[in-house]
Structure 1
């Protein structure tokens, strides 16, 4: 059965714990990073039980379960519904679109996020996060039935994005890496071998101010975990504790204009004019996040057997 790993702060120390309902079983391990914990103390995580849960969850502050020194790897245009709402064709993206976010943007699931003063088109993207259990050697081929050998667990990621930086400047890293633009958690849900076969049944939901914006099953992703891990292993080093955000479905604030408008923009306008109009129109779009907005994000199976918890993010002024 899955179990939820938390990184906590009680005001005196930061420590790791396993959650049992409203109680915590602290782990007596020295690991400071997610990678060190999963590499060196995997058995310690599974050795604790309900009887060891002596600390109330209400007495601690829950931090992001992925520490800032880990790689934050991302997939783009990985759901057909999101490709289509972006005015693109899935057939034009037969490849896996990969990019990174700065690990310094990782923040807790309930931490407020500052919208920078120069950002006006702040968007949300709920995503399933995969966390590596061990280092992924070069040339590793991962198959769907062996995910448990390479992945520790899953977590909720909100890939917050400044569209007025990302798109006009063509810079994913810059538009997605402001401090706080990566809420992760609340916990890292560790899955057993048979449970990994249920990842397609995980349902992602994100609401803003109580209005449901995104609602989709993870099984709809185009480039799935096994093939993505295999491709990453062919490109560069990937380590225990690293985070892979697997893309977002439809429902984001950013939407493509109509076909006629896109045709005119493509053939009759310079890039500078096109993006100036994009930003101008976007500033009137009420779906973009503004200070005072409240985001609620969940990922779970419909039967509740695997539940990644809930993110509650408030957007605030600098």
Structure 2
């Protein structure tokens, strides 16, 4: 059975604790970063933790991934999301990788601030994996060995300003505004048997109670082991770093089909992006101040449940 760990603020201190049935058992020690926490607290030891508890309801949630860790993301990693993003999944044969600024990381219940100049704010539920082993040289990681590299799982919402990301071709900027990366609530620590279930988790995202995204990690195109193997040949990864594995179909973004995109290539840049903005302006799915977004990820048998992430959209203060 997986183990819920909460990073939280209580009585002026940032602490870590094991959560069960709404009660927190504080974990002894001070751990300023996710890397420090994971290195000192293997799941096998924490399952035996005992001691006085405090109610979860009286603490303030913090992100279980601290801002010093790398925030690495996969794009268009579910077949149907490729299609809705205007890609041909039978032609795209590469793993799309980008990063988000760690300054966008916030707790799972934080408001999401819509910048005043952003018109098209989108949501993206994603399964996030937190590493427990440094990867500093090229290696081939098999699915059977994934438990050696993954400490646990978290919910990530990759909020995106589509009117910055797409016309400017700026994934990093369009996805990195402050508050655009809520993580948690829990770091769900996994043992070997749990890691084997990562390919059968159900993701569900709602906006104001209406389902917008619903899919299974069984439909990931590039799985975690394959992705970590590829990344190992590009740059170093460290304990506590976060890999966000991509979002399913159902985003607010509307992109023309590959055929229409080829036709649009003959247009001037000004005309092409004017048409893009007009198409997006007709989409009522984009987020507005007052909207509530909820994200859930769990296995069907309930043995892995990452909790509920809930964000209210607010306008940037003038």
How many corresponding residue pairs? 316
- 3-state SS of paired residue (1:299): strand
1:121-160 equivalences under 5 Å are 121-160=120-159
The equivalent of 2:308 in structure 1 is: 310
TM-score by length of 1: 0.95
CA distance in 2, matches of 1:131, 1:74: 12
1:100-115 equivalences under 5 Å are 100-115=99-114
**Structure 1 residues 75 and 37: alpha-carbon distance in aligned structure 2, compared to 1, 3 A threshold:** same
The equivalent of 2:239 in structure 1 is: 240
- 3-state SS of paired residue (1:231): helix
Q: Unmatched 5+ residue regions in structure 1?
A: none
- 3-state SS of paired residue (1:87): coil
Q: 1:275 aligns with which of 273, 276, 280?
A: 273
- 3-state SS of paired residue (2:31): coil
CA distance in 2, matches of 1:41, 1:212: 36
- 3-state SS of paired residue (2:247): coil
The equivalent of 1:206 in structure 2 is: 205
Deviation at 1:75?
A: 0.4
CA distance in 1, matches of 2:118, 2:219: 31
- 3-state SS of paired residue (2:167): helix
The equivalent of 1:287 in structure 2 is: 285
1:154-303 equivalences under 5 Å are 154-257=153-256, 261-267=260-266, 269-303=267-301
CA distance in 1, matches of 2:246, 2:46: 30
User: Once the two structures are superposed, what CA deviation does each residue of 1:217-274 show, in whole Å capped at 9, x if it has no partner?
Assistant: 011011101011111111111000000000011000012235775454232x112221
- 3-state SS of paired residue (1:168): coil
CA distance in 2, matches of 1:142, 1:177: 29
CA distance in 2, matches of 1:225, 1:63: 25
CA contact (8 A) 1:20 1:53 kept: no
The equivalent of 1:71 in structure 2 is: 70
RMSD over aligned Cα atoms: 1.5
CA distance in 2, matches of 1:220, 1:47: 31
CA contact (8 A) 2:88 2:258 kept: no
- 3-state SS of paired residue (1:92): coil
Moved over 4 A (4+): 258-261
Q: Which stretch has the larger CA shift, 257-266 or 80-89?
A: 257-266
CA contact (8 A) 2:43 2:190 kept: no
Q: Which stretch has the larger CA shift, 256-265 or 294-303?
A: 256-265
CA distance in 1, matches of 2:43, 2:162: 42
**Structure 1 residues 260 and 237: alpha-carbon distance in aligned structure 2, compared to 1, 3 A threshold:** closer
CA contact (8 A) 2:3 2:47 kept: no
Deviation at 1:290?
A: 0.7
- 3-state SS of paired residue (2:265): helix
Deviation at 1:275?
A: 1.3
More helix as a share of residues: 1
The equivalent of 1:22 in structure 2 is: 22
**Structure 1 residues 258 and 144: alpha-carbon distance in aligned structure 2, compared to 1, 3 A threshold:** closer
**Structure 1 residues 132 and 187: alpha-carbon distance in aligned structure 2, compared to 1, 3 A threshold:** same
Deviation at 1:197?
A: 1.0
Deviation at 1:41?
A: 3.1
CA distance in 1, matches of 2:194, 2:258: 43
CA contact (8 A) 1:201 1:219 kept: yes
User: Once the two structures are superposed, what CA deviation does each residue of 1:290-311 show, in whole Å capped at 9, x if it has no partner?
Assistant: 1111101100012212100001
